[in-house]
Structure 1
Amino acid sequence: MLRSSLSRASTSCLRGLSAAASSSSLQPRFLSSSVSRLSDNLQKPLAFAFDIDGVLKAGPNVLPEAKRALQILEGNNPRKQKIPYIFITNGGGKHESARAKDLARELEVPVTQDQVIQAHTVMKSLVPLYGDKPILMIGGPETPPNAAREVMQSYGFQNVYTALDLHAHAPAAWPFSTVHPDQLPYVRREDFSKIRFAAILVFHDSREWGRDTQIIIDILRSHNGVFGTEHPPTEPLPDKQIPIYFSHGDLLWGNDHSVVRFGQGAFRLAIENVYKHTTGRDMESVVFGKPHRITYDYANELLRQHLISMSGAETAEAAKAVGPSVWMVGDNTESDIKGAVDFGWSSALVRTGVYKDHNGPPNHKPTILVDNVEQAVIEAIQREWKL
């Protein structure tokens, strides 16, 4: 049921980009046969997609190779040509416009919000299903600045509640901590006996695993999605579980700590096991982010639009006809490289993040294995341009 719902929703995820591609300003000026001949004669346009953590940054620190790599794409290359690029991260927690400003400041290049795909960006595809229904949002900053609820509302979700709201409403639901006084002004007060949650969206990594696990399981085991209730033991569990969506599935991720950290994928495994042990049933869920195809569909169409807007008329027509030749640069074989391989992109695996040589060969073979992002960009350009 969740998979079929996602399939319907994923169409709307790309609708905006597809509409832009079919707008009058982008209509082909040649007959389709002409476009076909043109695309045969032109080199496939080059584009890049970058992971952020472990590739461009180590925790809060920008890697020096990252700035040099992006300057190459900004035109400091043998052809003096700008090469389009986007950022695809399983991170998030703030609006894409805020992340774009951060990246522009840190990397010292112009970055617009339509170059940024975060793990939860593709959750916009769920608005047709849940835009006007009560949803429980988990993870991300629960208070300003960059409050996750505000980001979800900007996507089109009109009725968003957080674990903080439920904890403030029922402190005994998680008695091991209390809502801080500074958080109280941002709590949404409701009579939750009258709220029926339609879905749970794990928007970003949980800040409080214990509390959030408890509240998620409470909703999944509730009677008709009402917090503080339990399905009557005399009645069979409903066939349809309350849907739960995770913005990404990374088990591990790298920052400036010496050892890799647990990601949202570990959080999902914990919830699945608790749900299994308390209900005897397997939990159904949908996972977004890398390496899942819906994210790469979104990214590929985004890159096509960048190529069309940046190119001359003939190259733009070729970009429409054949699409870009994309290189994914990442540090995680299970998300970055697997997603690229499955989608048909080229890939560069770097040694500055999750992947370490001493752990053995990568589970998913990249096109190239290099020390850092600068080497990845240089070698990819040399291969594509046959320098």
Structure 2
Amino acid sequence: MRGLGSARILVRTIATKKPQTPLAIAFDIDGVLKQGSVVLPEAVRTLKMLEGDNPWQTKVPYLFITNSGGKEESKRALDLSDDFKQKIVPEQVIQAHTVMQSLVSLYADKPVLMIGGPDLPPGGSRYGFNQVYTAFDLHAYAPASFPYADPNPEQQDAVRHADFSKIQFEAIFVFHDSREWGRDIQYCLDILRSDQGVFGTMITNEELRKRRKIPIYFSHGDLLWGNNFALPRLGQGAFRTALEAVYKRVTDGDEMNAITFGKPEQMTYEYANELLQMLLNRASNGNDVHVAPENIWMIGDNPASDIMGANNFGWSSALVRTGVYRDVEGPPAHKPTLIADNVEEAIMKIMRNTWS
């Protein structure tokens, strides 16, 4: 009996002792914490655990890396605070287009075309791009350029009127998923094949191969994403695939000058890694605390973005079954450190494996 009592004391001591190994968590949102607009109940409990409501009474720094977007980071932080019943600050939010702020030094004062919804692409002058135009602007300038729909009257107040015969676009930014593939593919082709970026002009395919190509930047490359529908939906990666196919066909085999951000690209994980380190030091009252790469966990539902990106960067990864990934499709193409039914189960496994 004496030995049993000692064992109970030991178990109680282990459960209440502050762990020494720092942890940090990066969450995908769609398919992990939410399904469309529906907040998963286990997501609220999970973030509560990370705020210290766990057997070790220890807070764990976390942030969100999503290939979604369409809002400013400050607005997204407020929305997530309401969703998860925890105070989320903008520094905890990395959206697909967040890292595209790194392009400001190249395009701050140069005309760029921004593509993507849900209404007007975010970022613009708020990121430091001062000459931003949208598909709505082009359509209002030349309605016949997309004859299958009339210019949207709801966008009239936001339209930036300009004489596009005198503007030379330097780049195209696909900041968020297109809501009108036909129109946006048309306008991307128009600019990519134009004479020095002037809308309404075109050079020959032979000349196109000789000149400097206008670059097009995609905020992410997800082919699929998960919401509250039973099956995954097409994402920005599918839009890019369609645009590339049409571009290659009309240019007799030429390749676009395309650059992709978001997951699984390394630049996004580098950005997240720095933010997590900052959050960890802030939680440690300014002490210089380092978290080992294997103790930074990416929790995601998409093997081709979440898991691939984390594995390539040297983080650990957890794949959940509440989004894109389905067991019926066979083993994931990119092997995670662990697979869990949902985010709550994943975090509990991580804490126990690391701290018990």
TM-score norm. by structure 2 comes to: 0.92
TM-score norm. by structure 1 comes to: 0.84
Q: 1:141, CA displacement in angstroms?
A: 3.0
Determine the structure 2 residue equivalent to 1:14: none
Determine the structure 1 residue equivalent to 2:289: 318
Determine the structure 1 residue equivalent to 2:138: 166
Which residue identity does 2:58 align to in structure 1? Q
Q: 1:185, CA displacement in angstroms?
A: 1.3
Determine the structure 2 residue equivalent to 1:270: 242
CA distance in 2, matches of 1:45, 1:337: 21
CA distance in 2, matches of 1:192, 1:311: 53
Determine the structure 2 residue equivalent to 1:157: 129
1:257 matches 2:229: yes
1:206 matches 2:182: no
Determine the structure 2 residue equivalent to 1:100: 77
Determine the structure 1 residue equivalent to 2:272: 299
SS class of match (1:318)? coil
Q: 1:192, CA displacement in angstroms?
A: 0.3
Q: Deviations over 1:122-173 (max 9, x none)?
A: 000000000110000000233xxxx425x22111001100001001101111
1:81 matches 2:51: no
CA contact (8 A) 1:45 1:323 kept: no
CA distance in 2, matches of 1:43, 1:284: 47
CA contact (8 A) 2:112 2:173 kept: yes
1:197 matches 2:169: yes
The partner residue of 1:148 within 121, 124, 143 is: 121
CA distance in 2, matches of 1:319, 1:171: 56
Q: How does 1:28-177 map to 2 (within 5 A)?
A: 43-142=20-119, 147-149=120-122, 151-177=123-149
Could you say if the C-alpha distance between residues 235 and 286 of structure 1 is closer, same or farther in structure 2, counting changes exceeding 3 Å? closer
The partner residue of 1:347 within 286, 297, 317 is: 317
Determine the structure 2 residue equivalent to 1:335: 305
Q: 1:234, CA displacement in angstroms?
A: 7.7
CA distance in 2, matches of 1:283, 1:356: 33
Q: Which consecutive unaligned segments of at least 5 residues does structure 2 have? A: 1-18
Please identify runs of 4+ aligned residues in structure 1 that moved more than 6 A.
Answer: none
Q: 1:79, CA displacement in angstroms?
A: 2.1
SS class of match (1:319)? coil
CA contact (8 A) 1:44 1:323 kept: no
Identity of aligned residues (%): 58
Q: How does 1:7-26 map to 2 (within 5 A)?
A: none
CA contact (8 A) 2:302 2:325 kept: yes
Determine the structure 2 residue equivalent to 1:231: 203
Q: Deviations over 1:204-226 (max 9, x none)?
A: 00010000000000000000000
Q: 1:82, CA displacement in angstroms?
A: 1.2
SS class of match (1:148)? coil
Q: 1:239, CA displacement in angstroms?
A: 3.4
CA contact (8 A) 2:193 2:208 kept: no
Determine the structure 1 residue equivalent to 2:152: 180
Q: 1:383, CA displacement in angstroms?
A: 1.2
State which structure, 1 or 2, has the greater radius of gyration over its C-alpha atoms.
2
Instruction: Tell me how large the CA RMSD over aligned residues is.
Output: 1.5
CA contact (8 A) 2:293 2:315 kept: no
Which residue identity does 2:137 align to in structure 1? D
347-356 or 175-184: bigger deviation:
175-184
SS class of match (2:109)? coil
Q: Deviations over 1:73-109 (max 9, x none)?
A: 0110122121100000000000000000000001111
Number of residue equivalences: 337
Determine the structure 1 residue equivalent to 2:15: none
Determine the structure 2 residue equivalent to 1:17: none
